[in-house]
Amino acid sequence: MKKRRLTAAVLAGTMVVGLLTACTDSSKVSSTSTESTSDSSKTESTDTGAGIADFKIDASQIPQEKLDTTLYVACSIRGLENPYIATIADGMDMFCEYLDSIGQKYEKQVLDSGGSNDVEIDNMKQFAAKAGGNAIAYADPNESAIAPSLAEAMAESGGYLGTAWNKPDDVGPQDYDPNWVIHTSADNVANGKATAEALFDSMGGKGKIFVIEGMLGNTASNSRVEGLEKALEEYPDIEVAHQDTGNWATNEALTLVETWLNDTPDVGGIWCANDNMATGALQALDAKGLKGKVGVTGIDANPDIVEGVKDGSVIATVSSNGYLQGGYTLAVCYAVWTGLITTEELPENYRTFLTPAIMITKDTVDDYVTEYVDSIPEYDFSDIWYCKADK
């Protein structure tokens, strides 16, 4: 298959993406690099990873008994109405096409939590119990705190889970070995900082902004806001006029901006932690005749926001590539389920790591649309580590 890879870029330059290490604070994303806890652990991970990096699934080595066993495949998400999240489910479908190509028997399922922690945990428990150990799943924990509960649900039945975006700082895949296989994330700090810098530059480095955060207790939102705060330190003439959570929702962001515009009509830009909320901000601006006059940024590369970058109403967004995240997380879990690799073989930076992303601005949007909107990327899921940002 032809493979298309997202490259990490900030404006016209390259975004420096660092690895997460799976020590106690493994979910913290660095905008430069993350260091291992000691020089010796770095050497050990490097030596072990050298062989693992070249691993590919060889279908001829999968026992026929495994191929004939019904494998239950799922992605646990919160709402297909979000275009980015929908691409994660699409990534599962793409991976299942790969399973078809090698003769693997399977059933697939979308576990939609609707944004409820309890529903997400219960969904995973029921799915894992039904599969009786023959299960692999991608999960985006609704909040960091429930990631261990999802891993525990899978561990109880002997299935294999890969998570993305959210988990507690002091818990990771090794704590539920071998059933919690990997945890991944795009570099949220770097992405939050990059979109903020693009917004501030479009404002001439001064003026008032609105800040719309995502869900409280959500690692991705918190880290993106951390990136924003780093950018604010470098732009002393930017003033945060209002800041609140929009809970990832378009309607909540719309309400916030409508309210804030009443006392701050001279706002110069709006920074949003995701594209759904950027859509709400644009709607509020449009109602006041300010769309295209007040810059907006988001993250997720939703179709309407990408169009906004093209028409100039949006300054920047970031694609985290849900196709890649969903499909390759399942591919790694599949390799473990088949027995072709074991979690014991995987060094720390192959259990918790960053996935690639691309910054979309007026300078890069046409190329992005050509490669990722007008056509669907194709991937070789046998090359399971293709999803690592440093691959």
Domain boundaries, the chain: 55-185+322-356, 188-319
The CA–CA distances, whole Å, from 350 to 64, 81, 224, 302, 332 equal 27, 31, 23, 29, 10
Query: In whole numbers, what is the pLDDT of the chain averaged over residues?
Result: 88
Query: What's the rounded Cα separation, in Å, for the pair 160 and 165?
Result: 17
CB environment 30-49: b (16+ within 10 A), e (fewer): bbeebebeeeebbeebeebb
Q: Find out whether 191 and 220 touch, Cβ atoms under 8 Å.
A: no
pLDDT tens, residue by residue, 28-43? 233 333 333 333 333 3
Q: Is the CB of residue 357 less than 8 Å from the CB of residue 188?
A: no
- Which ranges of the chain would DSSP assign to H, the alpha helix? 39-52, 64-68, 83-102, 117-131, 147-157, 188-202, 219-234, 250-263, 275-287, 303-311, 322-338, 365-368
Q: Are residues 144 and 166 in contact, defined by beta-carbon separation less than 8 angstroms?
A: yes
Domain 188-319 classified CATH 3.40.50.2300?
yes
What pLDDT is attached to residue 81? 86
* Backbone phi, psi, residue 76, to 5°: -100, 115
CB atoms within 10 A of CB 367: 11
The answer to whether the 55-185+322-356 and 188-319 domains have the same CATH topology is yes
- Which residue shows structure tokens 């693997």? 104
CB 353 within 8 A of CB 19: yes
- How high is the pLDDT of residue 80? 87
**Separation between Cα atoms, residue 89 and residue 37, nearest integer Å:** 36
The pLDDT confidence band at residue 48, using thresholds 50, 70 and 90, is low
111-161 pLDDT, tens digit per residue, is 999 999 999 999 999 999 999 999 999 999 999 999 999 999 999 999 999
Instruction: Check residue 276 and give its pLDDT.
Output: 95
Instruction: Tell me how far apart the alpha carbons of residues 14 and 32 are, in angstroms, rounded to a whole number.
Output: 12
In CATH terms, the superfamily for domain 55-185+322-356 is: Response regulator (3.40.50.2300)
